[in-house]
Structure 1
Amino acid sequence: MPIDGNKARCRKCYAQFKLDIDEHRNVYITEIKLPEDEQSIKSLADCYLILGLNADAIPMDIKAAYKKKISEYHPDRVGVLGIKIQQIAEEETRQINAAYAMLQEHGMV
């Protein structure tokens, strides 16, 4: 984690942290700013689109679509195809899980 003054940035996800050190040299993270994600899910329509469903899908269809998508893109299944493909699969898996979680939060599943 590169540190500039009392600010640091994660090398992997680029989240920013404000660090404070007390008199005993203990480090405290006092502020976290996550990077803006242009691919973040903003609506339920995005969730249905990611899972390849229509907005009128029933819970059983949502669960089936989730299982199908997650099995297609799971990074362990595509690991032998190379690091680039595995990175793409990891991002797709995150999107699929986020879409399913959002549908669950809204009582659609």
Structure 2
Amino acid sequence: MSGFASWIGGALGWTLGGPIGAAIGFAIGTAVDKATSKGLLLEPPKRGSRQRRKRTDPVYEKRRRRISTTQKKAQTKSGDFEVSLLVLSAIVMKADGEVTTSEKNYVRDYFVKMYGKERANHAFQLFNGILKKEDLSTRQICQQIQLYMDHSSRLQLLHYLFGVTKADGHVSEEEVELIETIAGYLYINDRDYQSIKAMFYNPVDSAYKILEIDKSVTNDEVKKAYRKMAKKYHPDKVQHLGEEHVKGANEKFRQVQKAYEQLQKERRF
């Protein structure tokens, strides 16, 4: 459990509070209970211990929360993005009432690819605990993420969630509708939502949707749209999350390039 505890310590920042903190706390408790049942942890101190619980002043706590919500949005760190992925993945996977092995494997494989096997194992241990929590509030969790996470990181979250829905080869309407709801809660506009969705579902005129333009635009407008989207989805936008996420963001960037090349070929310019 020491490795797990160390990983948790390094992973949590602004996620310690709010609904995400509650979900993570539940998951940690589940992991601790499991370890205790196997004799991996010592018994907790008895009630006669000299340790005292700190009293919480409700007035102070209310004021602290009010101040925190008005503070400038902090730049998201890798660990905060990581646990946000886990919580939102759990919500989406449970949308259709069934969590498949393929979906769970997608999460594990993604974390192995991004963070390495050891860190992925710790993340998946936490993820299993989150899946067991029944009362996850999608709206409250997304509000916390939107409050602290920059726009580029939220777009990366959305891209990942679409990958989760396709992991088992079956995409339910409930899952897609939930992701659209999540996008709204995260303040991601419809054009950005449709752009990322088109990277996975290849609708008619998907190249136009990815570049967020209509078929009626001129060639010059296609070029302008490409430059705009290439800038929006450039991997450097999530560089603050760590090198592992820069690699993950390359997929969105490649899709934009592919869409532009397709239109170049179709329009012959």
Is 2:209 aligned against 1:49? yes
RMSD of equivalent CA atoms: 2.6
Over the matched positions of the two proteins, sequence identity in percent amounts to 32
Q: CA deviation at 1:54?
A: 0.8
Q: CA deviation at 1:42?
A: 7.0
Q: CA deviation at 1:91?
A: 1.2
Larger Rg: 2
Aligned to 2:259: 99
Distance 1:96 1:41 in 2: 13
Per residue, is there more helix in 1 or in 2?
A: 2
- Count of matched residue pairs: 72
Change (3 A) 1:73 1:63: same
Q: CA deviation at 1:73?
A: 1.1
Matched ranges for 1:14-93 at <5 A: 39=200, 41=202, 45-83=205-243, 85-93=245-253
Q: Structure 2: which 5+ residue stretches go unaligned?
A: 1-112, 114-198
Distance 2:224 2:218 in 1: 10
Aligned to 1:3: none
Tell me the TM-score normalised to structure 1 length.
0.54
Q: Secondary structure at the match of 1:39?
A: helix
Q: CA deviation at 1:102?
A: 0.3
Distance 1:52 1:108 in 2: 20
Distance 1:72 1:93 in 2: 9
Change (3 A) 1:100 1:41: farther
Q: Structure 1: which 5+ residue stretches go unaligned?
A: 1-11, 13-37
Tell me the TM-score normalised to structure 2 length.
0.24
The aligned amino acid for 2:251 is: E
Q: CA deviation at 1:89?
A: 2.1
Which 4+ runs in 1 deviate beyond 6 A?
none
Q: CA deviation at 1:87?
A: 3.9
The aligned amino acid for 1:72 is: K
Change (3 A) 1:91 1:40: farther
